[in-house]
Amino acid sequence: MSDLFDLTGKVALVTGGSRGLGRAMSLGFARAGADVIIASRKLDACEAVAQEVRALGRKAMAHACHVGRWDELEGLVDAAYAAFGKVDILVNNAALSPVMNNADMTEDFFDKIIGVNFKGPFRLSTLVGNRMVKGDGGAIINISSGASLHPLPLVGPYSASKAALNALTSVFAADFGPKVRVNTIVCGSFNTDMFQPGDDAKARMAASAKAINRVGEPEELVTTALYLASPASSYTTGAMIRVDGGVP
């Protein structure tokens, strides 16, 4: 069974890979044998995780990129293919999750949320997915949120952008199949810097996890990501898998 989760020889590209869930997945893929491209806005933070990947005996590349900026994504993909020749696993993890009254939302901030959470994954999946189809195939994993299924008033644009990301999963699963599998992980509240216990809206989200009454740890997402990235999920595509502690 361990061979099903073996990523030896694979290359993973993780956006928002320098911290939180992205860092946990980057290191998890490396432990399973993959080389990793870590992308986020701050190069020094990406390089710190890249060093952790190299310490595990894998190759790594750090790349500074704002996922919400359409033109920067082509540069990211070109750099990835120049360095490794391929991308086998794409994880659209970068996200912007402000808590704000809708009446206080500015157009600029609204556009930033949609850009990072929806426009960026659309563009990046298109760029990488089409190359995967022409090559040996691959897996795309979208990191969504329970807020896409259970929206809260203070995270309206965020909830809507993640619901749109859920829809993209079905679109690209059909578009890129059968060589490329596209799936979504719907996350609950995890113990990262995006979740602050003093934050009322997010605290209510965490408290709603009735079955397992706590916030998740980043490492608890890694096994699901490994499943979707690996041959273990060879017949799974267009799926949404909830990892949320049992939100009703």
Catalytic residue among 81, 158, 227, 235, which? Answer: 158
Cβ neighbours, 10 Å, residue 224: 18
**Residue 227 is among the residues annotated as catalytic for this protein:** no
Residue 236 CB partners (closer than 8 Å, separation 6+): 181, 183, 227, 228
Q: Residues 88-105, buried b or exposed e (16+ Cβ, 10 A)? A: bbbbbbbbbbeebeeeee
Residue 92 carries which side chain, given as an amino acid letter? Answer: N
What Å distances lie between residue 101 and 20, 95, 111, 185, CA to CA? 25, 19, 16, 27
179 touches 132 (CB < 8 A): yes
Q: How far is it, in rounded angstroms, from Cα 82 to Cα 102?
A: 43
Q: How far is it, in rounded angstroms, from Cα 165 to Cα 160?
A: 9
Would the CA dihedral through 39, 44, 45, 46 be positive or negative?
A: positive
Q: How far is it, in rounded angstroms, from Cα 144 to Cα 184?
A: 6
Which residues does the annotation mark as catalytic? 158
